[in-house]
Amino acid sequence: MTNLSVNINKVATLRNARGENLPDVEKVACDCESFGADGITVHPRPDRRHILYEDVFALRPLVKTEFNIEGYPDEQFMDLVLKVKPEQVTLVPDAPGDLTSHEGWDVAPNMDFLTSVVERLQAAGIRASIFVGTDTDNIKLAAKTGADRVELFTKPYADMYHSDPEKAVAPFVEASRAAHASGLGVNAGHDLSLENLKYFHTHLPYLDEVSIGHSLISDALYLGLAETIRRYKECLM
C-alpha cells in the first residue's frame, strides 16, 4: 500500500491570515495522524507565508509517523533540516518567490550541488528525495547523486487526466519504472486529488508515497478532515 503524507501548509496559511493560533497547526498534524495519515509534509519558505521555521521545530517531537520537509536547499534550509532531522527531505528547485512548485530539477547542470546536498542529508540519517519530472534520462542522473528517492511532479498528469487519463499516466509509469530500475524509491505529488488519485495509484508501479496538501485541505472544508483522509487512503488501497 502507498503511504499518504498530508501537506499542512494550507492550514498554516489560514492561521497566518489572522496572526493567531487558529487553526492550530500542531493539533492538525496530530489529528491527521490519528485519522490515518502515514506522514506529515511541510514546505517552509523564506517569505513565511505558511509554515514557519518555528513550526517545523515545534512539529518535530509531535509527528510520530514520517516527517517530510520540502524546500530549496539553500544554507538556511539546510541548517533547519540538519537540526530537525526529519525522516525525509524533498529537494525542490523553487525560487524564493514562487507560489508553488511548477517544475522538477534539471539534474545535469545541478549534479555537483545536488550530490553534495544528498551527502549532507544522508550523513545525518535523513532520506533524500529529489523532485523531478518524467524524463527518464534526468531520473537516471538523479540516481547518480546518491539520492534515495525521487518525487514525480504530477501536475501534468492532473491537467490531462479528464481528457485522456491513459495518455496522462503513461509517462509516469515509464518514469516510475526507470526510477525503480535505477535503485530509487518513488514518491509523487502536486495536484493529486480524490478525482484522479485512484487511477494514478492503480496504474503506477513501485509508488511508495504521495504527498497531498491543497486538494486534501480543500476537500476537508466540505467533508471534514477525518472523512477526507479516509477517502484519500481508500484511493491508495
**Hey, which residues are catalytic here?**
43, 70, 190
Residues 6+ apart with CB under 8 A from 38: 3, 4, 5, 65, 66, 209
Which among 194, 156, 161, 199 is positioned nearest to 175, based on CA atoms? Answer: 156
How many helices and strands in the chain, by DSSP H and E?
A: 11, 8
- The residues with which 130 forms a beta bridge, in sequence order, are 91, 150
Which among 208, 144, 147 is positioned nearest to 176, based on CA atoms? Answer: 208
> What element of type H or E holds 149?
strand 149-153
* Distances 14 to 65, 164, 183, 218 between C-alpha atoms, Å: 24, 34, 39, 12
Which grid coordinates belong to 206?
A: 513501485
- State the burial class of residue 237 (Cβ atoms within 10 Å of its Cβ: 0-12, 13-18, 19+): exposed
